[in-house]
């Protein structure tokens, strides 16, 4: 009772073709296909970038972090003095 039959789908398709025309529907379909293709490509590119980022991770010990922090503060002090 509540489902859509094949005849109802066919009537809707005929009305859509009459309203928009086959050329415009073909263009819309092509645009939609290229949008989906671009979306898939962007998602796969992002995944590969995430894998590369994770692979380049280099763990540092506490001593290396302390020396880098002191070097950074010394550089900012020099920059403030020069300004």
Mean pLDDT by 10 residues, the chain (83 residues): 86 92 91 94 82 59 75 73 67
Query: 4: which DSSP letter?
Result: P
Rounded Cα–Cα distance for residues 36 and 32 (Å): 6
Orientation angle between helical segments 22-55 and 6-20, nearest 10 degrees: 100
Sign of CA dihedral 12, 17, 19, 25: positive
Contact 25, 17 (CB under 8 A): yes
Predicted pLDDT at 63: 76
3 state DSSP class of 3: coil
Q: 0.85 cut: is pTM over it?
A: no
């Amino acid at each position: 009772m509540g489902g859509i039959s094949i005849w109802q789908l066919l009537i809707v398709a005929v009305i859509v073709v009459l309203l928009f025309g086959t050329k415009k529907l073909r263009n819309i379909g092509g645009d939609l296909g290229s949008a989906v293709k671009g979306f898939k490509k962007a998602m796969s590119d992002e995944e590969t970038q995430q894998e590369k980022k994770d692979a380049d991770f280099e763990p540092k010990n506490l001593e290396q972090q302390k020396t880098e922090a002191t070097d950074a503060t010394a550089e900012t002090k020099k920059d403030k003095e020069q300004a």
